[in-house]
């Protein structure tokens, strides 16, 4: 009976592993494809995917292959795309720094604002607080595209349209991180704070020396999530920044059909690196923070 | 231990990742810092000029080759090798100046001419050596024919004089022939009679010779049959037994009587036969003698007369006529031959004369070549400028080969240029034009004539009078002033480009970016209103002050990013 159950469990595990493997392949394939294709020559990429871009773009061109050809192994490994991106095309580097210029302040200030806001939400009670927090949740639940038009109108009113502030300012006051950090801070035992108060600690000292260290992992995970979210933004720059020179690299990647098809994969890989490194850096914090904010850990 | 490792590893890993991230960002930062420098290095570098407004004198540029108004070719007089060239191209020379010294070499032309002369002389001598025509054979033939004719005439005359004697002889001959025929017939009969007599076939013998013999012969045959009858009867009776002796005797007696009678008849017949035999033999002898006589007459006649003797006078006349015609045809043929020969002789005389003249002419040619060969210098026949030297030292030149060309400077120089008729509308003859490629400023050119181009009706020909330091064959570029006008947009000519869509200029548009100003080329289509050698007035979407690209280090197209020249 015991052996039978073990066998059943083993079979179940095998099936589950196979299923998970298949799903993993499906999800990993675009990334692997991007990395391997970045080592192809631009002519090979045009031959393989030219038709797809031809269908998307308006200027009809004639390509060698009239079918889409997914290729993982390059005919000839070449660094020409990287060379072109890094040495011959300052606009791509510029767009990378555009992304950095937009994302770093947003992430930093959003976390700062979120930390203070969430401390307030966690520490103080009152009806107004509840209404504001509820409105935060409502805002968070709304898709970003819904708030895009009001954002545009406000930015226009403020005279910051077609400047980076039009993206940075709405980004700083994002409800997502506030909500997440509030949940985390609410879990900090009140006895810690009362003990500190008894010891004569001010609100800043309580925030600085008790709350922040306890929320460290959550802060990092929120930072990472916010960074990834804004690193990949497309709609905001497209709507709020008329000048293409100020567009981040993510917009270029979304408009790749009209740009240099050959450079797309190399740019994508380069663009992937900061996010990947950040994820690898705070992998432990991320897991910890998410689980902590989810209430698994007491 | 493992637990420690687990605790330390995430920190180390984070440090490594942090370092990698920092390095990555620093690298990108450095690349960004140098990106413009690197990119600018690959951009085409351009030079620009701004468009201006002002006046422009339209000028028409044209180029052509200067030609001397008159030139002549210096030619070698004989086969020779150039030893020395005394002049250079462009050198001024005077009449009689030595241009080349030459060294005569073995003249193949002279050799050929001499060989031809020899062969002509040989032919002439051969023509003279031809034997004159004589007619001995023909004359002999005519003479023979004449003699034959004379002989025939004599024979005919003789025949005419001997005709009576010949007639009597012939009559005798004919009579003899007739008699001989009868005698021959009779001889045959006689011989047949003798044969018949010998065989007792007396009935075949002619009656003139038979006489009594037929009766005697019949009596004899009758006696024979009676004897046979009596003997037969006797035999019959003797066989019969009833026959008496007397009967037999009587029959025997009868047989005897018959036998006696037969003997008598036989004897008479034999004597008569003998007598007839003699008669016939005598006649035969006579006839043979007569036959011999007649034969001798005939043979004598026939032997005495030849075939010609037998011919009659008429036959002889016919022969004479034929002979006369033959003789006449021979004479005519001889006359014709003489005429033909005379004609040939005259023709030959003409040929000989012509050949003689040919020899004389060839002698002159040989003398001329010999004279040419003896010259060692080639001199200028006119004063002028050497415009072309066609030979080098050591070259072999043939007679009448042009070794140099001399422009006769007294006659001056001209240049003609064919240009589109439309462009010549603003030009007037009589103006002085600028010579563009005259660096020493020593050439003057005047437009003297504008006339229609007969070869290309869309063009007109401009004729310039050129003077100064110029030689035939020089290429001159001239700028002909046309009308002067005021224009809003004047750009350098070097900024003007042209493709299948027409004329255009590339202007520079700047675009500011966080990395600094960037410059892009933009195409502006224009229409050229007027132009001189350096500038042109244009009309189009071009504003005064726009910067037009005049030169670039690489080909530039509209939309290309460019780098301004430092």
Taking 80 as the threshold, does the pLDDT of residue B359 lie above it? yes
CA atoms within 13 A on the CB side of A89: 21
Pairs across A and B, CB distance < 8 A: 50
Tell me the two tokens of residue B340: 């033909």
* pLDDT (mean) for B351-373: 85
A96 contacts B21? CB cut-off 8 A: no
Side by side, the strands of the sheet bearing B384-389 are B71-75, B402-407, B384-389, B92-93
Percentage with pLDDT > 90 across chain A: 20
- Dist CA B547 CA B549 (whole Å): 7
Q: How confident is the model at residue A106 (pLDDT cuts 50, 70, 90)?
A: very high
To the nearest whole Å, the CA of B504 is away from the closest chain A CA by 25
pLDDT value at position A298? 37
Which is nearest to B489 in space by CA: B431, B419, B539?
Answer: B539
Answer with the residue of higher pLDDT: A294 or B35.
Answer: B35
pLDDT value at position B112? 86
A101 to chain B, any CB pair closer than 8 A? The answer is no
pLDDT in tens, B159-187: 788 777 777 888 888 888 888 888 888 88
pLDDT in tens, B43-62: 888 888 888 888 887 778 88
B7 to chain A, any CB pair closer than 8 A? The answer is no
pLDDT value at position A256? 65
pLDDT value at position A18? 95
To the nearest whole Å, the CA of A100 is away from the closest chain B CA by 10
- H helix or E strand, kind and range, residue B396: strand B396-397
pLDDT in tens, A162-190: 899 999 998 888 888 888 888 888 888 88
Q: Where does B166-311 sit in CATH, by number? A: 1.10.287
Q: How confident is the model at residue B2 (pLDDT cuts 50, 70, 90)?
A: very low
Percentage with pLDDT > 70 across chain A: 88
Taking 50 as the threshold, does the pLDDT of residue A85 lie above it? yes
Q: How confident is the model at residue B419 (pLDDT cuts 50, 70, 90)?
A: confident
Answer with the residue of higher pLDDT: B484 or B566.
Answer: B484
Contact B180, B294 (CB under 8 A): yes
* pLDDT (mean) for A58-85: 73
- Dist CA A73 CA A67 (whole Å): 17
Was domain B46-69+412-564 assigned CATH 2.40.30.170?
yes
* pLDDT (mean) for A123-145: 84
pLDDT value at position A235? 87
pLDDT value at position A66? 59
pLDDT value at position B418? 87
* pLDDT (mean) for A56-79: 67
Taking 80 as the threshold, does the pLDDT of residue B243 lie above it? no
Span of A224-233, A240-249, B373-382, B486-495 with lowest mean pLDDT: B373-382
A87 contacts B38? CB cut-off 8 A: yes
Q: Tell me the chain B residues in contact with residue A277 when contact means C-beta distances shorter than 8 Å.
A: 17, 20-21, 24
Contact B533, B57 (CB under 8 A): no
CA atoms within 13 A on the CB side of A235: 11
pLDDT value at position A12? 92
Taking 90 as the threshold, does the pLDDT of residue A19 lie above it? yes
pLDDT in tens, B452-484: 888 888 888 888 888 887 777 788 888 888 777
Beta bridge partners of B432: B446
- Residues 192-251 of chain A with CB under 8 A from chain B are 245-246
Q: How confident is the model at residue B516 (pLDDT cuts 50, 70, 90)?
A: low
Domains along the sequence of chain A with CATH: 90-294 (1.10.3720.10)
pLDDT value at position B106? 62
CB nearest to B35's CB, from A93, A100, A280: A93
Span of B125-134, B252-261, B304-313, B357-366 with lowest mean pLDDT: B304-313
pLDDT value at position B3? 47
The residue of chain B nearest to residue A88, with distances taken between CA atoms, is: B39
- Dist CA B244 CA B124 (whole Å): 144
A274 contacts B32? CB cut-off 8 A: no
Taking 90 as the threshold, does the pLDDT of residue A112 lie above it? yes
Tell me the two tokens of residue B49: 């000029």
Percentage with pLDDT > 70 across chain B: 94
pLDDT in tens, B216-239: 888 888 888 988 988 888 888 878
B515 contacts A274? CB cut-off 8 A: no
In chain A, the N- to C-terminal Cα span, in Å, equals 38
């Amino acid at each position: 009976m015991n052996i039978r159950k073990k066998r059943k469990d083993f079979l179940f595990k095998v099936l589950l592993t196979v299923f998970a493997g298949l799903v993993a392949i499906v999800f990993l394939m675009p990334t692997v494809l991007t990395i391997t294709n970045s080592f192809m020559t631009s002519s090979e990429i045009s031959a393989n995917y030219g038709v797809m871009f031809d269908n998307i773009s308006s200027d009809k061109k004639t390509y060698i292959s009239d079918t889409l050809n997914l290729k993982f192994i390059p005919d000839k490994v070449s660094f020409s795309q990287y060379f072109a991106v890094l040495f011959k095309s300052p606009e791509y580097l510029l767009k990378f720094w555009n992304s950095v210029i937009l994302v770093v302040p947003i992430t930093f200030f959003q976390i700062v604002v979120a930390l203070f806001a969430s401390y307030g939400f966690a520490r103080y009670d009152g009806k107004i607080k509840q209404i504001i927090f509820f409105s935060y949740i409502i805002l968070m639940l709304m898709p970003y595209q819904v708030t895009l038009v009001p954002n545009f109108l406000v930015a226009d009113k403020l005279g910051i349209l077609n400047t980076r502030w039009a993206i940075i300012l709405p980004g700083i006051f994002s409800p997502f991180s506030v909500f997440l950090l509030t949940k985390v801070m609410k879990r900090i035992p009140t006895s810690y704070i009362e003990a500190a108060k008894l010891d004569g600690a001010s609100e800043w000292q309580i925030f600085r020396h008790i709350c922040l260290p306890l929320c460290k992992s959550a802060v990092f995970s929120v930072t990472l999530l916010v960074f990834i979210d804004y690193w990949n933004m497309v709609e905001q720059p497209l709507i709020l920044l008329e000048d293409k020179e100020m567009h981040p690299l993510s917009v270029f990647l979304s408009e790749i059909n009209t740009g240099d098809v050959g450079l797309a994969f190399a740019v994508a890989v380069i663009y992937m690196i900061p996010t990947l490194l950040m994820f690898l850096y705070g992998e432990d914090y991320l897991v910890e923070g998410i689980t902590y904010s989810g209430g698994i850990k007491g | 231990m493992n637990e420690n490792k687990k605790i330390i590893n995430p920190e180390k890993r984070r440090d490594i990742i942090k370092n990698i991230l920092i390095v990555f960002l620093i690298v990108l930062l450095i690349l960004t810092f140098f990106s413009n420098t690197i990119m600018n290095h690959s951009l085409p570098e351009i030079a620009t000029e701004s468009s201006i407004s002002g006046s422009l004198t339209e000028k028409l540029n044209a180029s052509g080759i200067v030609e001397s108004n008159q030139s002549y070719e210096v030619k070698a007089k004989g086969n020779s090798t150039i030893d020395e060239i005394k002049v250079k191209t462009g050198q001024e020379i005077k009449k009689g100046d030595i241009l080349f010294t030459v060294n005569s070499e073995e003249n193949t032309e002279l050799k050929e001419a001499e060989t031809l002369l020899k062969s002509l002389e040989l032919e002439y001598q051969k023509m003279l050596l031809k034997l004159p025509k004589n007619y001995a054979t023909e004359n002999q033939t005519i003479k023979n024919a004449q003699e034959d004719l004379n002989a025939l005439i004599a024979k005919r005359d003789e025949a005419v004089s001997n005709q009576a004697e010949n007639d009597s002889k012939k009559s005798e001959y004919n009579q003899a022939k007739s008699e001989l025929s009868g005698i021959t017939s009779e001889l045959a009969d006689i011989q047949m009679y003798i044969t018949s007599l010998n065989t007792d076939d007396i009935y075949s013998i002619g009656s003139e010779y038979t006489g009594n013999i037929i009766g005697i012969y019949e009596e004899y045959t009758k006696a024979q049959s009676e004897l046979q009858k009596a003997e037969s009867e006797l035999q019959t009776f003797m066989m019969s037994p009833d026959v008496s002796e007397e009967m037999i005797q009587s029959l025997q007696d009868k047989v005897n009587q018959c036998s006696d009678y037969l003997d008598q008849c036989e004897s008479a017949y034999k004597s008569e036969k003998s007598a007839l035999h003699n008669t016939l033999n005598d006649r035969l002898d006579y006839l043979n003698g007569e036959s011999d006589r007649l034969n001798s007459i005939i043979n004598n006649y026939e032997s005495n007369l030849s075939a010609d003797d037998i011919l009659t006078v008429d036959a002889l006349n016919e022969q004479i006529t034929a002979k006369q015609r033959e003789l006449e045809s021979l004479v005519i043929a001889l006359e014709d031959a003489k005429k033909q020969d005379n004609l040939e002789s005259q023709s030959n005389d003409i040929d000989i004369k012509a050949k003689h003249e040919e020899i004389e002419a060839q002698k002159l040619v040989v003398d001329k070549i010999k004279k040419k060969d003896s010259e060692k210098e080639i001199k200028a026949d006119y004063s002028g400028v050497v415009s072309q030297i066609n030979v080098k030292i050591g070259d072999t030149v043939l007679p009448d080969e042009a070794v140099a060309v001399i422009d006769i400077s007294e006659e001056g120089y001209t240049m003609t240029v064919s240009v589109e008729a439309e462009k010549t509308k603003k030009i007037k003859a009589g103006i002085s034009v600028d010579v563009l490629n005259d660096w020493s400023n020593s050439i003057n050119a005047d437009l003297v004539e504008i006339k229609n181009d007969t070869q290309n009706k869309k063009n007109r020909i401009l004729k310039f009078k050129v003077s100064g330091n110029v030689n035939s064959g020089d290429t001159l570029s001239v700028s002909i002033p046309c009308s002067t006008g005021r224009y809003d947009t004047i750009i350098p000519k070097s900024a003007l480009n042209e493709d299948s869509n027409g004329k255009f200029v590339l202007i520079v548009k700047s675009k500011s970016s966080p990395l600094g100003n960037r410059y892009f080329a933009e195409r502006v289509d224009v229409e050229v209103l007027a132009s001189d050698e350096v500038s042109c007035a244009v009309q189009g979407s071009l504003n005064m002050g726009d910067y037009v690209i005049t030169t670039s280090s690489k080909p530039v197209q509209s939309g290309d990013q460019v780098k301004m020249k430092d």
